[in-house]
Amino acid sequence: MSLGSIPPKYKVSIDREQCMDCGRCIENCSYGTFRREGDKILIQSRKCTACLRCVSMCPRDAISLTENPVDYRSHPLWTREAREDIIKQARSGKIILAGMGNASNLPSIFDRLLLDACQVTNPSIDPLREPMELRTYIGKKPSKLEFKKTEAGDVELATKLSPNLKLETPIMIGHMSYGAISLNAHLSMAKAAKETGTFMGTGEGGLHRKLYPYQGNMIVQVASGRFGVNVDYLERGAAIEIKIGQGAKPGIGGHLPGEKVSAEVSRTRMIPLGSDAISPAPHHDIYSIEDLVQLVRSLKEATEWKKPVFVKIAAVHNVAAIAAGIARSSADAVVIDGSRGGTGAAPKVFRDHVGIPIEGAIASVDQKLREQGTRNEVSIIASGGMRNSADLAKSIALGADAVYIGTAALISMGCRVCGNCYRGLCPWGIATQRQDLVDRLDPEQGAMQVSNLIHAWTLELSELMGAAGINSIESMRGNRDRLRGYMLDEGILEVLDVKNAGA
Amino acid sequence: MCGIIGFIDKTKSTMDGSKIKAALSLMNERGSGDGAGYVAYGIYPDYADCYALHVFFDNMVEPKTKVDEILHRWGTVVHQEEIPTVEQPGLKRVHTPWRYFFKPFDDMIGGKVGSEKDIIKHIVMEVNSSINGALIFSSGKNMGVFKASGWPEEVADFYRIEDYEGYIWLAHNRYPTNSPGWWGGAHPFNLLDWSVVHNGEITSYGTNQRYVEGYGYKCTLLTDTEVVAYLFDLLGRQHELPTETVVKALAPPFWDEIDRMPPAEEELHRAIRLTYGSALMNGPFAIVVASNEGIVGFTDRIKLRPLVVGENGDKLYISSEESAMRVLDPEVKNVRTPRAGEPIIGRFNA
């Protein structure tokens, strides 16, 4: 082999003094990093993905894992990554696949936005003593109210409200399909959504019958492959989401490998057992905005105009104009997925290079809709790399109504962001269909962890709002006056419509 | 801090400004001598059908020429003059207060400018955002704002406030944190008939500002109170909401309370919150708003600023402090403190 191998990414070692030879590492590693030979546990570091399952399960804390120290000749342009990608492609002649979100080195805008708090001139509000309102309605809202006089002379409301989803917290769980992730992962998140008064997306994988008890908290997705879609599915959802694009891979479709299409996945998706499930890049009935309008209306007709319909798009350069077009349809919410959004598998070049960060996308969409007087026509749901309650608070202050979390929810169930979701061997029982692995995730336990996370962020958001003297989420939304930029350039500050720190 | 006071005589009997000056001065503890102001309704009966535009000019050359030009483009100046003032030792005159009595041309109505009032709104926004050295701080009919940097007595004496006779008076004693020393930053804030006096700080200002700016209002006065005048103009005038509903949009009941309401009422309050969420005002405030129909006072939803109400026959008083009310009317009755967010409304008798 003229190219030779590229160096292993990680180096795993066992402290033999500490090791009690229990073999849990061998059992737990689905990638085959560990094996027993005679009375010794041997390690093949090259197989390691840094999922940290072995480290977490070792009763003696005997396992160490580091990034394998290999020094290429240092070069500012020809980084290790650049060289290794070329070697891989020279060997395969193929597109490089990658999991999870954008791994490029670009700075996060969220980290350079700072939140505000009250001092002296206005009192901060203690959420433990005073009401703090996070209730959020997602859906179309009137831009003004009309009243009429009844025969008796009373004034009554003439405006009829469109159906809205009522959230007890502005945190929703984003669309990750059954197939890409396991049934137990879906069950954990669905129970958590119900318990915390919020909603969860099904992804493009249909709705497994075991999730029917939670359907009141599920948003069913209609994506370009139309997997699992029939009228029963649409009617079960609390809302319907049309997925046009995804932040991790704008402009391209999806691919669920046949190995992940088990009997249950096949039944739920309504596709043959073991076949690859390929979602085309565009919807083959949507080639323009007016086609989208028709699909929105068709879905509404099919469900008797009782359910909100969302449209999800990736944050691309022209996101504001696209969202403005969506706001002119009958859609009730636009979901914007930023370039740091996660994925089970995406071509690395898309994941790291296509689309714009969610911060700029929220700011420009909110601005455009206000300019056009259509901000009340749609809610804005932001997603793509929401790591903590600060990202959440900043998203809302920039103008979002709510956020979707994806990767964060997976991490709360055990995921360590190793990025090998597409291989179907997830040792945490999340991104896999192998029953022995799936069984590792207990839905009751998983649900508790996901709800804990949502509760914790909700509490932190309440504290942040209280400190800013705000007791209702409406007054946080679009309140860019309570943000300041730090080390952001003037161009970005202008897009965000945020002042500099100290200004 | 700041002290506010409001008065209405529901029979439209007028009162001169001397007592309101005395009442406001009693609350000097709440101010810092950096700003005070008054607004009175019913003061220009001879020009009742004209918009009285009160303007601060930094000089009488460039800014005034530009304002004149805009006004002549949009209508007729029926009369104009310098607002009579008397120099006060402690008050530094930084602007020349001027007033125009102005009638817009009917044939200029069209497109986005759908009414006479839209013309006035447009002129105010254009002057205040684009002409250096000119600020229109009062623009309603048969009413006028008088304000400056200084203690309440000085500002009152400067404008000879006792010479005006009004059936509504609002007054404000300022302790500025945002823009001290700037006359434009003193209260009351006004647009068309709406005048606002405000004690507090609006933590939702950014949200409210983005909301009204979507409807063509421009926030140029460097302080949060002006947005209240624009919210009243948008919801009360343009959306034609009753005053009670405007207050319910600005300081709505909590969801817990709404959930417990009977169905029709629940739906109404839910609709108000869904539709006008961006108009909700957060943070500590006590506000009195006046228009040619009456006055309304209310506080924030958890009442972080004081407000008391009193009555005497056809007279209604709203104030930060009861003592100030008693200076206006020693016979004041039914003195009480309204609940958080409860609108106190005084309208003229039919």
Question: For residue range A151-209, what is the model confidence (pLDDT) as tens digits?
Answer: 887 888 999 999 999 999 999 999 999 999 999 999 999 999 999 999 999 999 899 99
Per-chain mean pLDDT for chain B: 93
Q: Do B203 and A482 touch (CB under 8 A)?
A: yes
Residues from A contacting B (CB-CB < 8 Å) are 118, 121-123, 125, 130-131, 133, 135, 137, 141-145, 147, 155-157, 159, 161, 164, 366, 370-371, 373, 375-376, 397, 399, 468-472, 474-482
Minimal Cα–Cα distance from A333 to chain B, Å? Answer: 14
- B268/A180 Cα distance (integer angstroms): 43
B86 touches chain A (CB under 8 A): no
SS3 assignment for A263-324: HHHHHHHCCCCCCCEEECCCCCCCCCHHHHHHHHHHHHHHCCCCCCEEEEEECCCCHHHHHH
Q: Look at residue A112 in the predicted model and tell me its pLDDT.
A: 97
pLDDT bin (cut points 50, 70, 90) of residue A67 is very high
Q: Cα-Cα-Cα-Cα dihedral of A125, B296, B234, A473, to 10°?
A: 20
Nearest-neighbour CA in chain B from A398: distance (Å): 10
Residues paired with A10 in a beta bridge: A67
Q: Please tell me the distance from the alpha carbon of residue A10 to that of residue B149, in angstroms, as a whole number.
A: 69
Amino acid letter for position A494: E
Check residue A153 and give its pLDDT: 78
Could you report the per-residue pLDDT of A371-380, keeping only the tens digit for each? 999 999 999 9
**From CA A376, how far away is CA A365, in angstroms rounded?**
12
Q: Per-residue pLDDT tens for A275-293?
A: 988 899 899 999 999 999 9
Chain A residues within 8 A of B209 when measuring between CB atoms = 481
Smallest Cα distance from A242 to chain B, Å: 24
DSSP B302: T
**Cβ–Cβ under 8 Å, residues B305 and B286:** yes
CA distance A123 to chain B (A): 7
DSSP string of B165-201? EESEEEEEE---SSSTT-GGGSSPEEETTEEEEEEE-
B chain contacts of residue A366, beta-carbon cutoff 8 Å: 210
Chain A residues within 8 A of B239 when measuring between CB atoms: 144-145
B295: left (phi over 0), alpha (psi -120 to 50) or beta: beta
Query: Tens digit of pLDDT for each residue in A433-484?
Result: 999 999 999 999 999 999 999 999 999 999 999 999 999 999 999 999 999 9
For residue B191, give how far its alpha carbon lies from the nearest alpha carbon of chain A (Å).
21
Among the four given CATH numbers 3.40.50.300, 3.40.50.10490, 3.20.20.70, 3.30.450.20, the one describing domain A166-500: 3.20.20.70
Select the residue of A130, A156, A482 nearest B206 (Cβ to Cβ).
A482
| Contact status of B303 with chain A (Cβ, < 8 Å) | no
Q: What would the pLDDT profile of A328-353 be if each residue is shown by its tens digit?
A: 999 999 999 999 999 888 899 999 99
H helix and E strand count, chain A: 15, 23
Find chain B residues with C-beta within 8 A of A375's C-beta.
Answer: 214, 278
pLDDT above 70 for A96: yes
Q: What is the pLDDT of residue A438?
A: 98
Q: Are A235 and A175 in contact (CB under 8 A)?
A: no
Cβ-based contacts of B272 with chain A (< 8 Å): 145
Q: Which amino acid, one-letter code, is at B150?
A: G
Average of per-residue pLDDT across A84-108: 91
| B154 against A259, higher pLDDT | B154
Asked if the Cβ–Cβ distance from A161 to B271 is below 8 Å, we say yes
Domain ranges of chain B: 3-347
The C-alpha atoms of residue A49 and residue A266 are separated, in whole angstroms, by: 28
Q: Could you count the other beta carbons within 10 Å of the beta carbon of residue B31? A: 22
Residue B72, both tokens? 């002549």
**A479 vs B204, B241, B270: nearest CB:** B204
The ipTM, to two decimals, is 0.91
Judging contacts by C-beta atoms under 8 Å, the chain A residues touching residue B242 are: 147, 155
Question: Chain A contact for B260, CB < 8 A?
Answer: no
The neighbour count for residue A153, using CB atoms within 10 Å, is 6
Cα dist from A39 to A20, A36, A60, B127, whole Å? 11, 7, 18, 88
Give the pLDDT score at B332: 96
Q: What is the pLDDT of residue B221?
A: 73
Residue B25 has pLDDT above 70, yes or no: yes
Residues of B in contact with A147 (CB under 8 A): 241-242, 245
Q: Does B286 touch chain A (CB under 8 A)?
A: no
Residue B99 in contact with partner chain A when CB distance is under 8 A: no
Asked if B200 and A122 come within 8 Å (Cβ–Cβ), the reply is yes
User: CA-to-CA distance for A414 and A420, rounded, in angstroms?
Assistant: 14
Q: Where are the beta strands (DSSP E) in A365-476?
A: 379-383, 402-405
| CB atoms A370 and B201 under 8 Å | no
Angle at Cα A60 formed by Cα A58 and Cα A64, nearest 5°? 65
Q: Report the C-alpha gap between B306 and B313 in whole angstroms.
A: 24
Does the CB of B34 have a partner CB in chain A at under 8 Å? no
Nearest CA-CA distance, residue A466 and chain B, Å: 10
Amino acid A1: pLDDT = 56
B284 touches chain A (CB under 8 A): yes
Q: What is the pLDDT of residue A297?
A: 97
Please tell me what DSSP assigns to residue B164: -
Distance separating alpha carbons of residues B191 and B42, to the nearest angstrom: 16
Residues of chain A positioned with their CB less than 8 A from the CB of B275:
141-145, 159, 376
pLDDT number for residue B219: 85
Return mean pLDDT, chain A: 95
Q: Decide if B271 and A145 are in contact by the 8 Å CB cutoff.
A: yes
Q: Residue A131 and residue B280: Cβ atoms within 8 Å?
A: no
Tens of pLDDT, residues B171-199: 999 887 766 668 988 899 999 999 999 99
Set of chain B residues whose Cβ sits within 8 Å of the Cβ of A121 = 177, 201
Closest CA to A365 of A389, A401, A416: A401
A interface mutation test: which of B174, B199, B203, B241 has the most A CBs within 10 A?
B203
Of the pLDDT bands very low, low, confident and very high (cuts 50, 70, 90), residue B131 is very high
* Window 114-173 of B, Cβ < 8 Å to A: none
- Nearest Cα of chain A lies from the Cα of B330 at a distance, in angstroms, of 32
A21-33, pLDDT tens digit by residue?
999 999 999 999 9
How far, in Å, CA of B298 to CA of B247, rounded?
8
Q: Does B270 touch chain A (CB under 8 A)?
A: yes
> Between A252 and B221, where is the model more confident?
A252
Please tell me the predicted confidence (pLDDT) of residue B59.
93
Q: How confident is the model at residue A149 (pLDDT cuts 50, 70, 90)?
A: confident
CB of A502 closer than 8 Å to CB of A130: no
pLDDT tens digits, B287-323: 999 999 999 999 999 999 999 999 999 999 999 999 9
Instruction: Show residues of chain A in contact with B255, CB under 8 Å.
Output: 133, 135
B199 - beta bridge partners?
Answer: B286
| CATH pick for B3-347 out of 3.60.20.10, 3.50.50.60, 3.40.50.920, 3.90.245.10 | 3.60.20.10
Task: Kindly report the number of other CB atoms within 10 A of residue A81's CB atom.
Answer: 13
CB pairs under 8 A between A and B: 117
B209 touches A: beta carbon within 8 Å: yes
**Cβ-contact B145, B197 below 8 angstroms:** no
Is some CB atom of chain A closer than 8 A to the CB atom of B313? no
Could you tell me which chain A residue has the CA closest to the CA of B204?
Answer: A475
Residue of A115, A129, A143, A145 for testing the chain B interface, max B β-carbons within 10 Å: A145
Q: Which residues make up the CATH 3.30.70.20 domain(s) of chain A?
A: 10-71
Report whether CATH 3.30.70.20 matches the domain A10-71: yes
pLDDT at A254 over 90: no
Average pLDDT over residues B86-92: 91
- Using N-to-C axis directions, what is the helix angle for B62-74 and B116-130, rounded to 10°? 160
Calpha distance A296→A303 (Å, rounded) = 11
pLDDT digit string (tens) for B49-74?
Answer: 999 999 999 999 999 999 999 999 99
Where do we find the tokens 């700011």? A363
pLDDT classification of A63: cutoffs 50, 70, 90: very high
Q: Using alpha carbons, select from A87, A81, A49 the residue that is nearest to residue A424.
A: A49
CB-CB under 8 Å, A476 with B275: no
d(CA A264, CA B252): 49
Residues ≥6 apart with Cβ < 8 Å to A2: none
**Catalytic positions of B, please?**
2
pLDDT (0 to 100) of residue A418: 94
Distance CA(A150)–CA(A156), nearest Å, equals 7
Rounded to whole angstroms, the Cα distance separating B240 from B225 reads 21
Q: Which residues are within 8 A (CB) of A439 and not within 5 positions of it... i.e. 6 or more apart?
A: A184, A429
Task: Give the model's pLDDT for residue B216.
Answer: 86
The segment(s) of chain A belonging to CATH 3.20.20.70 are 166-500
Contact (CB, 8 A) for B39 and B288: no
pLDDT in the model for residue B1: 66
Taking a C-beta distance cutoff of 8 angstroms, is the pair A475, B282 a contact?
yes
What spatial distance separates the first Cα and last Cα of chain A, rounded to whole Å? 61
